[in-house]
Structure 1
Amino acid sequence: MLTRRFFLAALGSAALPVGQGMAAGLTQSLRPVARGTTAEVAPVAKQAPTVAKLIAETRFSGDLAFAVCDAKTGEILEQQEVAGHLPPASVAKSVTALYALHHLGPAYRFRTRVLATAPVVGGVLEGDLVLAGGGDPTLDTDGLAALAQEVKASGLREVKGQFLVWGDAVLPHTQIDTEQSPEAGYNPAICGLNLNYNRVHFEWRKAGAKYDITMDARSEKYRPDVHMATMKIVSRDVPVFTYANSEASDDWTVAQGALGNSGARWLPVRKPALYAGEVFAGFMRANGIAVKAPAITRTEPTGAVLGQHRSEALSDVLRGMLKYSTNLTAEIMGLAASERRLGAKVSMRVSAAEMSFWAADQLGLEGALFVDHSGLGGDSRVPAAGLAKALSGLTREGLLPDLLKNIPIKKMDGAPDKTHPVKVVAKTGTLNFVSGLAGYATTSKGRQLSFAIFSGDLDRRDALGPDERDRPPGGRTWNTRAKQLQQALILRWDTLYDA
């Protein structure tokens, strides 16, 4: 039997103090009370299309797993599983949200601090100034600007020592998933000092025979140029982007043949602490405080706090994560929760394995295997029936439904039907030839159902070459059909289980 200790050991962490330091963010277990039967319940005799007919009508191809439960009792009304289960994609973030709430609590806030390692005398700091990240995944350029103004208000005028940046509040990772294209903005580096979801804004505009290009850390109020991320236009057609890791910068090239006259996109940052440090140093200078170029420190800093930025409460951060499906936020949440649970910083893989064990223990989600906290990695697996049943238990805890976003039923032309009596709140998930949807549906007569739907054509996904991952042939059409099938299943359940 695959035990918890064996699984962690296989990931290279047998010596970790697993299971220690758990902080209860909830007053009771999240495990749903088992009621009813887990066997498939025969549908009542109502006019509803069979699942086979829905698959034929939507022209869906691939594997399909689903389950629907009575959200109040946990009774499974209908289910279909796939051997070995399917990837959850970003549906995994719903489990990550619960994992973070349990260990950190809904009021938890991340802090980014500015520290002085020596006394400030007459406005002069003889020691070092340190920008110390606390893992905040939502810190943006506006927040750094406000932090610089707070440091100025503290009376600091001059820094004699170094300007250091510390990003080891969580174990750094250069990216979330190694299978993604290098330019995928949703696959950035992770560390304890993050900025703008660790993305840099690349913009270009043709000027005669040449191009004007900018790399900046734009936000709602500011657009500071960034020099730690460089871009060179190269005369070629493919690949569109290449990335090279130098000691102090992220070095990009872009194919001139792919640019056109103008455009813009976000690119991932691989050195987020230096990125945040450069932007903050610019704001310090704008406030009349000269600082040196940022340098990385691996030693956790101590000293007087000259300013700090606090994130929104965890519950609000999670709501944004589930709405916009931000991968960086999910990974930081999972890593922070595992550190609180274990009393030690661990890698993303080890943390995801720990979340798998927690989900089995606290949610009853046995058989789930997570390789990350965002669902970006395609090797995660989740049983549909297990998740649907776990979601039913969470209605009694009153946790997840309020954090999920509305998923409108669509008309034949694809427009949202705002007057449709069936209401759905759920988490979506999309990878190449993988689609998921899990959450709650309120039927026409008011019955609340919990459900999980996973679909995938893993053979087509595995056959993709590196240059096909951004826009796989047939991928958009497949995804559209998978989403149509999800809605068709929900409307089927409205017909069958509305009583």
Structure 2
Amino acid sequence: MITRRGILGGLLAGGVISALSPALAEVMDRSPRPVPRGGKPVAAAPVAQTAETLVAAAKLTGTVAFVLADAATGAVLESREAAVPMPPASVTKAVTTLYALEHLGAGRRFLTRVLATGPMQGGVVQGDLVLAGGGDPTLQTDQLGDLVADLRKRGLKGVTGRFLYWEGALPQVPRVAEDQPDHVGYNPAISGLNLNFNRVHFEWKKAGSDWSLSMDARGERFVPRVGMVDMKVARRETPIFTYKKGEGHEDWTVASSALGKGGSRWLPVRLPGLYMAEVFRTLAAAQGITLPAGQAVTSVPKGDELGRVESNALPEVLREMLRWSTNITAECCGLASSGQARLAASGQAMTDWVRTTFGGQASFADHSGLGGASRVSATDLAQILVKAHAQGRGLKPLLRNVGMKDAKGKVIDGHPVQVVAKSGTLNFVSALAGHITPPGGREMVFAILTGDPARRDAVPVADREDAPGAKAWTARSRTLQGQLISRWASLYA
């Protein structure tokens, strides 16, 4: 089972200043285990007479584009700026879902295997032990710990040869997007070996006039320390973090002014294969299995399988991706689908597939939407949803139920109209697309794209975790999205 504890990129504990708050980019901005909302249902607000009234009241800079269409016929019921190419942000993941389902198949599971190149005698492998990744983007420390425990039950104690790791099932990509700060956890590296969404847990506690620091790969039941990622406190105001990748290690510094009395956050890992190999070795040592330091290999040695971890089947992997908007899952699934060696080429391969399969002129720079270069019009996005629905491609059942909302943006409990959709957020970009399904009435698809790309691009990279004015802009956009959906459900359902 996938462990979700602490996967948010932002801080998990108190004693921090606003500069260390969670990012306003497409990240998992809700608790992994949300507390059910209590209280009585909230009455819906009166429907505005025109969509333009709602758009004007939102006071958004940039462009507001949308299309509402009949899900069965594709007939457009309402539209605005429908042909304008817009950044889709994480709505891209809905397209990636369709792409992965077609190219990988619903039965696909990502495998992480442990191989032995020689026989095991007296608990010792007479040869090398190999950790071979299969590109699983969901693997967590607890799963790796259970794998090691199973190996110990089988009698494994050590090896006569080397401990090797292979991450070549997917290309090694140092980060999803180049235009994000180094320290944001939603912009990790990608490879054939991925652990904890390629994030390491950084925790600090005040200790006299200094701080006690730790780096670990914690799960719910296993908390292995990590040595290949180092953190030092620097007596300065800014920048909050600095990062440098070395040969076999990653070095961070953090500004003392940002630490307060204590706290924690997840930071991205840029050497994911080495990271996972070290964690595996540490977990093995705790089970009495002695392994040498891991060595990378460019091809998988032949050997017998001693153990494996299987991911959930692809539809469940994609459902979780759509729910929590995990960028690494989207990129791993997209790269596995295209077989390309570079992320840009993989994005182009998905672009070509979308144009051939659904038509239109959409263009995707990646599979997660984290980069700002992707473009799609509301017309093209709605057309993808209509055709995917007609062809039974399986996207709709995987989308999250976002619910009908009142004028303040709160979900109306028990509302008879169901709204399933994928959202997307970047600085000064907010998108939402999906299905409106009333009980017994006309089902509709919609695509709402709001964005001010020029304003987003003007934000310095160092400020993109919490860009001034972006939160308020996004809040107004999300309110507008809810109001438009409420209006459409009332008028056309």
> TM-score normalised to the size of structure 2?
0.88
Question: Residue in 2 aligned with 1:7?
Answer: none
How far residue 418 of structure 1 moved from its aligned partner, in angstroms, is: 1.0
- Structure 1 segment 371-386 matched on structure 2, within 5 A: 371-386=365-380
In 1, distance between residues paired with 2:152 and 2:462? 48
- Provide the C-alpha distance between the structure 1 equivalents of 2:384 and 2:182, rounded to a whole number of angstroms: 36
Which residue of structure 2 lines up, in the alignment, with residue 6 of structure 1? none
What is the letter of the counterpart of residue 483 of structure 2? A
CA distance in 2, matches of 1:492, 1:251: 52
CA offsets per residue over residues 38-96 of structure 1, 9 Å max, x none?
xxxxxxxx985223211122222220111111111221212223665011000000010
Q: Structure 1 residues 439, 47: CA separation in 2 closer, same or farther (over 3 Å shift)?
A: closer
Q: 1: CA distance between counterparts of 2:424 and 2:164?
A: 38
- Match for 2:79: what amino acid? Q
Write out aligned runs for 1:191-210 (5 A).
Answer: 191-210=191-210
Q: Relative to structure 2, which stretch is displaced further, 263-272 or 292-301?
A: 292-301
Which residue of structure 2 aligns with residue 422 of structure 1? 417
Amino acid at match of 2:443: Q
Partners of 1:226 and 1:279 within 8 A in 2: yes
Correspondence for 2:151: 151
Alpha-carbon distance in 1 for matches of 2:249, 2:84: 42
Q: Which residue of 1 aligns with 2:275?
A: 275
1:391 aligns with 2:385: yes
- For residues 216-245 of structure 1, the C-alpha deviation after alignment (integer angstroms, 9 at most, x for no partner) is 101111111111111000001111001001
Aligned equivalent of 2:352: 357
Take 1:118 and 1:84, find their aligned partners in 2: how far apart are those partners? 60
Deviation at 1:273, TM superposition (A): 0.6
Q: Tell me what 2:75 maps to.
A: 75
- Alpha carbons of 1:196 and 1:117: their partners in 2 closer, same or farther (altered >3 Å)? same
Q: Percent identity?
A: 49
**SS state at 1:176 partner:** coil
Q: Which runs of 5+ in 2 are unaligned?
A: 1-45
1:464 aligns with 2:459: yes
What's 1:285 paired with? 285
Instruction: Please tell me whether the aligned partners of residues 67 and 388 of structure 1 are also in contact (alpha carbons under 8 angstroms).
Output: yes
Aligned CA distance change for structure 1 residues 112 and 200 (closer, same or farther; 3 Å):
same
For 1:250 and 1:280, locate their aligned partners in 2 and report how far apart those are by CA, in whole Å: 18
Residue 308 of structure 1 corresponds to: 308
Kindly indicate whether the alpha-carbon contact (under 8 Å) linking 2:406 and 2:482 is maintained by their aligned counterparts in 1: no
Q: Which runs of 5+ in 1 are unaligned?
A: 1-45, 340-344
The reply on whether 1:477 has 2:472 as its aligned counterpart is: yes
Shift of 1:494: 2.0
Deviations 1:403-439 (A, max 9, x none): 0001123334443211334321100000010000000
Q: Tell me the distance in 2 between the aligned counterparts of 1:414 and 1:51.
A: 17
Is 2:485 the counterpart of 1:490? yes
2:263 paired with 1:263: yes
Aligned AA (1:373): H
Number of equivalences: 447
**Deviation for aligned residue 1:457:** 1.0
AA aligned opposite 2:335:
L
SS of residue matched to 1:467? helix
Corresponding position of 1:24: none
**Residues 147, 213 of structure 1: CA spacing in aligned structure 2 closer, same or farther, 3 A cutoff?**
same
- SS at structure 2 position matched to 1:72: coil
**Aligned counterparts of 1:355 and 1:414: Cα–Cα separation in 2:** 34
Partner of 2:337: 337
Structure 2 residue matching 1:370: 3-state secondary structure = coil
- SS of alignment partner, residue 197 of structure 2: helix
Could you tell me how far apart the structure 1 residues matched to 2:106 and 2:436 are?
25
Match of residue 450, structure 1, among 445, 449, 456? 445
Q: Deviations over 1:248-293 (max 9, x none)?
A: 1111000000111111110000000111101110121122111011
Shift of 1:314: 0.5
C-alpha RMSD of matched pairs (Å): 1.6
Whole-angstrom distance in 1 between the partners of 2:344 and 2:393: 29
**Cα distance in structure 2, aligned partners of 1:286 and 1:419:** 50
Structure 1 residues 363-418: Cα deviation after superposition (integer angstroms, max 9, x where no partner): 33x20100000000000001211211221222231611110001123334443211
Distance in 1, Cα, partners of 2:187 & 2:376? 22
Local SS of the residue matching 2:193 = coil
C-alpha distance in 2, partners of 1:165/1:471?
Answer: 37
Report the equivalent of 2:57.
57
Instruction: Trace 1:402-441 onto structure 2 (pairs within 5 A).
Output: 402-441=397-436
> How many angstroms apart in 2 are the aligned matches of 1:335 and 1:296?
21
Check the 8 A contact 2:83/2:379 in 1, yes or no: no
Distance, in Å, in 1 between the alignment partners of 2:94 and 2:176 is: 18
Q: Give the 5 Å matches for 1:117-128.
A: 117-128=117-128
2:407·2:482 contact (CA, 8 Å) conserved in 1? Answer: no
Residue identity in the other structure for 1:362:
T
Do residues 401 (structure 1) and 400 (structure 2) align? no
Amino acid at match of 2:150: E
CA distance in structure 2 between the aligned counterparts of 1:491 and 1:59, rounded to whole angstroms? 19
Counterparts of 2:49 and 2:84, CA distance in 1: 27
Deviation sequence 1:153-175 (CA, Å, 0-9, x none):
33322211111111111111000
